[in-house]
Amino acid sequence: MIKLIVVIKRNTAMSPEEFHRYWRTEHATKVRSIAATSRYIRRYVQAHTLDAEYAAGNPAYDGTAELWFDSVEDKNAFFSDPDYLAIVAPDERVFADMDQTQFLVTNEESVI
């Protein structure tokens, strides 16, 4: 099992509140709507930066997404799926600054 961690910087055209609402609702609905999601993704979790972090200053990132796959091949198949490319990928640019968003492919190891 591998985990893809996506460190997301929001599109500056959106306020933090707009970003978090859109990502939780609109984008999540699009991800759930495609068959490739149930075929390849084992788990998908969003972690949203706390309001207190915005109040304290400009946080480096606005959240993370974690996606679990059985293999790197399944991750690659998901991200090359025609429905992902037509529906989900274009939507990512609506709420995220994809030039500043980072992707880490990891092997999760439990410590505690």
List the domain boundaries for the chain.
2-106
The DSSP bridge pattern shows strands 2-8 and 63-69 to be antiparallel
CATH number for the 2-106 domain, one of 3.90.950.10, 3.30.70.100, 3.40.50.12160, 3.30.420.10? 3.30.70.100
Report the distance separating Cα 7 and Cα 15, nearest Å: 18
Contact assessment for residue 7 and residue 105, using Cβ atoms and an 8 Å cutoff: no
Report the distance separating Cα 28 and Cα 24, nearest Å: 6
Contact assessment for residue 103 and residue 4, using Cβ atoms and an 8 Å cutoff: yes
Q: Could you list the mean pLDDT of each consecutive 10-residue stretch along the chain, which spans 112 residues? A: 97 97 98 98 98 92 98 98 98 97 94 95
Contact assessment for residue 9 and residue 61, using Cβ atoms and an 8 Å cutoff: yes
pLDDT score for 79: 98
55-80 pLDDT, tens per residue? 999 899 999 999 999 999 999 999 99
pLDDT score for 91: 98
